[in-house]
Chain A
Amino acid sequence: MSELTLERGLAAFRAEVDGPVAAFFSSCVHCGICAQACPFYLETGDPKYTPILKLEPLRRVWEADFTLWGKIKGLFGLNHKVTDEMLAEWEELLYDSCSMCGRCSMVCPVGNDLALMIRKSREGMVQAGHAPEGLIAASVRAIQTGSPMGLQWKTLAVQINHVQTSSGLEVPVDKEGAEYLVLLSSMEIINFPEYLEAITKIFDHAGVTWTLSTQCFEATNAGIQIGNKDIAAQLVERVVAAAEKLKVPKVISPECGHAFTAIRWEGPNLIGRPYPFKVFHIIEVLDELRAAGRIKTEGMETDRLSMHDPCNLARKSGVIQQQRNLMNLVAENFVELKEHGKFQWCCGAGGGVSSNERAEPLKMAAFKRKKAQIEEVNPERMVTMCATCRTQLEEGLEEFNMEIPVVGLTEMIAEHLVEKN
């Protein structure tokens, strides 16, 4: 059987060097501003976590094979080679200490998209056999069982039963021709089943037709997090097949960050063809319903609420105003974190960091940035719209003995729906 080797890794790095990558590396002015944007660097103070340094393997491959100067240096044997040892050392830098939050890309004065290059570097790391065990296991489970947590439909079926009993509403399954196909994340099914109940209530209230698919219920994409397009494409194909079979015009990505960017932005490029449907984040759908007057709410939350914008949603996808519109619908004492929207700070758990147990201490270190932000405005509860962010906020706040509960925005909206007679 073939195996993952350094040679394959180097070939994968080479395959990732394209016009943008070459332009980025040649225009880097070594200013170091990316470090100032990175919670992993700022909260540890260790210069090895400077984002551009994390890209050193890819940069070396680019220099040696794609630049004239690098080729000349190569003739004299002066190039720094990318070795197995180097990649082993960089595994921590590319996975444990990067949540691909993209803040570095935002602040780079010459416009280098560092987060994109991290994503590309991971392609090489996987092929060279230097991906973290936690992410490998999640990818294998995602392909073999359909869920990175190894969850099966029967577990979801139990949750559906609970929801149906408690709400008295039907959760539609495999309904051909519905308007929306709803995807879920395993994390939600296990930890936050309130989400499924909330959308069941909201969609019933707004008169929206929707369905789950037994063929594919999982929206998350372990292939994106580990950084392998073969795995990622297979997982996207499953969603596309399910949506095509049920002939839905729209697909909803759940309260999960990377799942949305995976299916919304990377998906069509991964499978090499356009989708026959459109993809929305649940927050986008809810805000559209609100704007159309299809969500009627009553009562307001009165306690002091603040909100965490997930990186994948706000910074990477531009969904910023929608969640604020929804907050204003049901919260009268909503206070923004100082830096929010596209310049928000990452919770520290995204980009596969939370699936990588070894990275736990770094994940908590990075969270200190968020913690400081929260302390600044001192809310009574935090609201967010990503299951990974939510888990991280809950764990982090508990770790630092801060009694601030975290709620999902969709559930909060569901609690304020005007009851039907």
Chain B
Amino acid sequence: MAARKPTEKTLGESLRERGVSRRGFLKFCAATASMMALPPSMAPAIAAALEKAKRPSVIWLSFQECTGCTESLTRSHAPTLEDLILDVISLDYHHTLQAAAGDAAEHAREQAMAANAGEYLVIVDGSIPGPDSNPGFSTVAGHSNYAMLMETVENAAAVIAVGTCATFGGLPAANPNPTGAMSVMDLVKNKPVINVSGCPPIPMVITGVIAHYLTFGRLPELDAYNRPMAFFGQSIHDRCYRRPFYDKGLFAKTFDDEGARLGWCLYELGCKGPTTYNACATMRWNDGTSWPVEAGHPCLGCSEPKFWDAGGFYNAVSVPTSASGMNVLAAGAAGAVVGGAVAALAKKQTKTAVTHRQPVTVEELEAKL
């Protein structure tokens, strides 16, 4: 992948050249609009903006990572518009995907940085050994990860951290963190950082963020962890199709009991859905085929900070993970009492409503004829 200036072609033209119909393109825009909770009337605006947008230059840096995030993005589902959008951004540097090697590859990165100074996007996957760590822990072409990151973001428009390693440190930063791994937002303070967490993250979220950036020229609304609200605004639990079983108190106790076979709630098997914010439950994986809970496994909470150190994957979330829990327990108990009272009130109301409902008889119906 040789370095190129953002080509003269617009995104619309490139897509058309690749055989993507106008209709397919508009469908993508409508899906993007609804994903980002924009009104459907925004779809044409998105289409117009994307049509005209010049392909942004993107430099993709991979540090302490497993390539799972790249796998997720490129192999998610056979060529779809998401992939094509990814394809037609000007991806000027990507360790795994570029053909160039050695000096030529590094040269491509430097050239892209110089040609698009102040305009290019940096995507990072993997965590970075911090400035105080041995720089030899992870290097590319003789540069430490830290040095390369700081040099590359210097003139970037924004940084998108992809995957839990880049966003929160992930596995490399898990206790005892031998390499002193840090996240992108720990290190980059003077540029906007968007976090797309998950191990790996959902591909549509990346393309959604890029589409949003191209459409509005600014980054989407973010939550406290710098994650796009549109995708990380709701907990897995609140959107889980097994939620009714939780509400009824029907839980699978083991992976092969009757409850598991009947598809009951996996809370007691350690599901982290209640504390995890991500879009798996609504967007699902593999072209909308399924997602972990649908496949019968509890959510691991992979898009949350410190998920590796949050106790066992198979411990229920209400089990305290550390011994310093007296205050937490007291607060929890108080909360439970208040919550319980509110819930009881609401329940009572529904119950009264149900008992006030009178069954309909066929005679009553007949009287209406």
- Seen from chain A, the residues whose Cβ lies within 8 Å of a Cβ on chain B are 1-4, 8, 11-12, 14-15, 17-20, 23, 29, 31-33, 36, 65-66, 109-111, 126-127, 129, 131, 133, 136-137, 139-140, 143-144, 228, 230-231
Contact = CB atoms under 8 A, between A and B. Distances in A.
A1 B364 CA distance: 8
B70 to A, nearest CB: 28
Nearest to A142: B362
B288 to A, nearest CB: 10
Q: Is the interface of B mostly helix, strand, loop or mixed?
A: helix
B362 A140 contact: yes
B311 to A, nearest CB: 28
B39 A1 contact: no
A274 to B, nearest CB: 10
Interface of B: 34-35, 37, 39-40, 238-239, 244, 247, 282, 346, 349-350, 353-354, 356-369
Contact of B353 (A17, A110, A126, A133): A17
Given A136-B368, A139-B365, A140-B369, A4 B360 contact: yes
Contacts of B247: 19
B39 A32 contact: yes
Nearest to A108: B34
A338 to B, nearest CB: 11
Nearest to A13: B353
B358 A2 contact: yes
Contacts of A66: 346, 349
Contacts of B364: 1-4
A4 B34 contact: no
A116 B195 CA distance: 36
A230 B40 CA distance: 40
13 contacts: A4-B364, A11-B353, A11-B357, A15-B353, A19-B247, A29-B37, A31-B39, A66-B346, A109-B34, A109-B35, A127-B358, A144-B362, A231-B360
Given A17-B353, A111-B239, A140-B369, A11 B358 contact: yes
A111 B239 CA distance: 8
Q: Is the interface of A mostly helix, strand, loop or mixed?
A: helix
Nearest to B241: A111
| Interface core residue of A8, A15, A228 (most chain B CB under 10 Å) | A15
| Interface core residue of B39, B346, B357 (most chain A CB under 10 Å) | B357
Contacts of B366: 136, 140
Q: Which 9 residue pairs are nearest across A and B when measured between Cβ atoms?
A: A14-B353, A15-B357, A109-B34, A230-B359, A11-B356, A15-B353, A143-B362, A15-B354, A230-B360
A31 B34 contact: yes
Contacts of A29: 37
A18 B244 CA distance: 11
Contacts of A12: 357
A1 B363 contact: yes
B369 A133 contact: yes
B367 A3 contact: yes
Nearest to B346: A66
Contacts of A136: 365-366, 368-369
Contacts of A111: 239, 282
Contacts of B356: 11, 14-15
Contacts of B365: 4, 126, 131, 136, 139-140, 231
Contacts of B361: 2, 230
B85 to A, nearest CB: 20
Contact of A33 (B34, B244, B359): B34
A109 B231 CA distance: 12
Contacts of A133: 368-369
Contacts of B35: 109
Nearest to B366: A140
A306 to B, nearest CB: 21
B39 A65 contact: no
Contacts of B354: 15
Contacts of A109: 34-35, 37
A137 B369 contact: yes
Contacts of B359: 230
A16 to B, nearest CB: 8
Given A1-B367, A136-B365, A144-B362, A33 B40 contact: yes
Nearest to B262: A274
Contact of B360 (A20, A32, A110, A126): A126
Contacts of B239: 111
Contacts of A36: 40
Contacts of B367: 1, 3-4
Contacts of B358: 2, 8, 11, 127
Contact of A4 (B39, B40, B244, B368): B368
Contacts of B34: 31, 33, 109
A11 B358 CA distance: 8
